[in-house]
Structure 1
């Protein structure tokens, strides 16, 4: 049976409690992991996660200025000049010069926008959320990956986000 993994990120910068971490920790019916907001941690996890062709991975991260849950259609081949939690700065450049400007994860491919507080988005940004999405989509051949940005709990209550993500994850796991 294919694996279905849900991941979130830990705290960083002004985000002392990352909503993606809180949601992932409460999704009891799914295999889950919380990653540090670190390039090294992302690289290590993608290399060692054991996901294989046919598996699915729903990635979550926070978007502090969003007012809806954003289904990210594309990961961009771009890095940020913002330091990660370990102080590493990769600088504004491409993640991989040999790869296209953007890639699409297959997890949400051809899926209609679900009911609830969701919206489609064309860009996962340029920080660790995007980096994880790009790494998963390009390095894990045959794994259906997708990224969902969640707002802060001040914007949409934790209970509402948890219900929406749980419903979405159940749908994605069964398709």
Structure 2
């Protein structure tokens, strides 16, 4: 079983992105016949999804777990839903700043994660604070989550996918960071590793299509 794990490059005024570092830390991890293959995506409205689509064609993953940072959150938060809506409060790294635009005009209003996020949260709670989030925002993170689920629905029906937001990492704090919640990279990496193996071992038939798990 192959799990494609993605992180994002730094964006805005940040010099580091913990999602990038976590993806790199977990690259090549194995559990039985399951293996994580990691990649780093640009924080760009169009290029992020284009690169992810290319990776899915090349790697043919059974599962895609996309990571992003949510500065201000104190827990690792798998996202339940992505909406067909782009409204960027700041420009992305390519200068795009859409306001109130759809991601795919012919797509549904929303997609639900097809990962067993309830089980993933239960697994991570033994290591770090974790909870389900019901808003992936309206920036590139939401765009990517909606986009990968749209790709799966249209082109890769057997691939499960979802998005996980992580807090700021302790190692990424700077003098200008202020007082924001943070967790050590090592703890987050271990929690994510366990959650990914738990998700990988969960039968896809037990997850309602486009509705996440119900356990």
Same fold (TM over 0.5): yes
Which secondary structure state, in structure 2, belongs to the residue aligned with residue 121 of structure 1? coil
Identify, as 1 or 2, the structure richer in helix: 2
8 Å contact kept, 1:46–1:135: no
The 10-residue stretch of structure 1 (113-122 or 102-111) with the greater mean CA deviation from structure 2: 102-111
Equivalent positions of 1:49-68 (< 5 A) are 49=55, 50=57, 52=60, 55-68=62-75
What corresponds to 2:199 in structure 1?
A: 172
Equivalent positions of 1:91-170 (< 5 A) are 91-108=99-116, 111=119, 113-115=121-123, 116=125, 117-141=129-153, 142=157, 143-154=159-170, 155-170=182-197
What corresponds to 2:38 in structure 1?
A: 32
Which secondary structure state, in structure 1, belongs to the residue aligned with residue 66 of structure 2? strand
Structure 2 alignment gaps of length 5 or more: 30-35, 171-181, 203-215
Total equivalences in the alignment: 173
Q: For the aligned residues, what is the CA RMSD?
A: 1.9
- 1:55-87, CA deviations, whole angstroms, 9 ceiling, x for partnerless residues? 200110000010000110001111023311011
What corresponds to 1:86 in structure 2?
A: 94
Structure 1 alignment gaps of length 5 or more: none
Q: Compute the TM-score of the two structures, normalised by the length of structure 1.
A: 0.90
Which secondary structure state, in structure 1, belongs to the residue aligned with residue 162 of structure 2? strand
From the CA coordinates, give the structure whose radius of gyration is larger: 2
8 Å contact kept, 2:83–2:142: yes
- 1:19-49, CA deviations, whole angstroms, 9 ceiling, x for partnerless residues? 0011110003110101010123223223322
